[in-house]
């Protein structure tokens, strides 16, 4: 899977999973909503109830900025399966930062729920260094929103490609 295909599929997902790891080496993964701008993924801390402050993902990023974000589609129609993982370095932006404001605007456009309650918390910017993807078909298609999605996608005879941040196969 080339970088352009990986980005296109990733951008089509409504939700992804952010994996962080703090200095203690313990992995932590949470579902996120996001906006993709070029090779930067933005997600923000919103008003939905959360446990613990500051959030574990924010603490982990401050201790270890290396993260992975996984987007995928699962279907009973297995030829349509795909996953894309974005490996990168995360930055926690101050809510008042211009980049954070632009990211929130993108999130509001993508998720109308934010129009009445924009995310007030910090914005996480993930600068993607490598796109890795797999699909069960040689030409995966973007599925409409609302398709079932899961954290699973086993490589069962499909096509996998390791692509760096410039779209080159590694």
Q: pLDDT tens for residues 14-53?
A: 999 999 999 999 999 999 999 999 999 999 987 654 555 6
Confidence of residue 96 (pLDDT cuts 50, 70, 90): confident
pLDDT for residue 170:
40
Is the pTM for the entire model greater than 0.95? no
Which residues 6+ apart lie within 8 Å of 139 measured at CB? none
Read off the pLDDT of residues 53-79 as tens digits, 9 standing for 90 and up: 678 899 999 999 999 999 999 889 888
CATH number of 3-141+154-164: 2.30.110.10
Range from 104-118, 135-149, 155-169 carrying the lowest mean pLDDT:
155-169
pLDDT at 123: 94
- The predicted structure's pLDDT at residue 62: 94
Give every CB contact of residue 111 below 8 A, 6+ residues apart in sequence.
33
At 52, is the secondary structure helix, strand, or coil?
coil
Q: Do you find a cis peptide bond into 54, omega within 30 degrees of 0?
A: yes
The mean per-residue pLDDT over the stretch 1-24 comes to 94
Sign of CA dihedral 9, 10, 12, 13: positive
Distance separating alpha carbons of residues 121 and 136, to the nearest angstrom: 38
Percent of the chain with pLDDT over 70: 79
Given a contact cutoff of 8 angstroms between Cβ atoms, the answer to whether 11 and 64 are in contact is: no
Mean pLDDT of 152-163: 35
Mean pLDDT of the chain: 83
Give the per-residue pLDDT at 55: 86
Report which of residues 34 and 2 the model is more confident about: 34
CA distances (Å), 34 to each of 13, 165, 170, in order? 9, 18, 26
């Amino acid at each position: 899977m080339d970088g352009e295909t990986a980005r296109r599929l990733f951008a089509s997902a409504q939700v992804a999973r952010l994996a962080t790891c703090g200095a203690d080496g313990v992995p932590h993964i949470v579902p996120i909503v996001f906006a993709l701008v070029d090779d930067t993924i933005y997600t923000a801390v919103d008003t939905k109830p959360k446990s613990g402050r500051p959030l574990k993902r924010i603490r982990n990023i401050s201790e270890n900025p290396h993260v992975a974000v996984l987007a995928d589609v699962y279907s009973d129609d297995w030829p349509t399966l795909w996953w894309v993982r974005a490996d990168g370095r995360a930055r926690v932006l101050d809510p008042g930062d211009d980049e954070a404001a632009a990211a929130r605007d993108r999130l509001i456009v993508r998720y109308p729920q934010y129009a009445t309650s924009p995310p007030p918390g910090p914005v996480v910017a993930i600068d993607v260094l490598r796109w890795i993807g797999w699909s069960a078909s040689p030409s995966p298609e973007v599925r409409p929103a609302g398709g079932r999605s899961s954290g699973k996608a086993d490589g069962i005879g499909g096509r996998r490609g390791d692509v760096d941040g410039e779209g080159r196969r590694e």
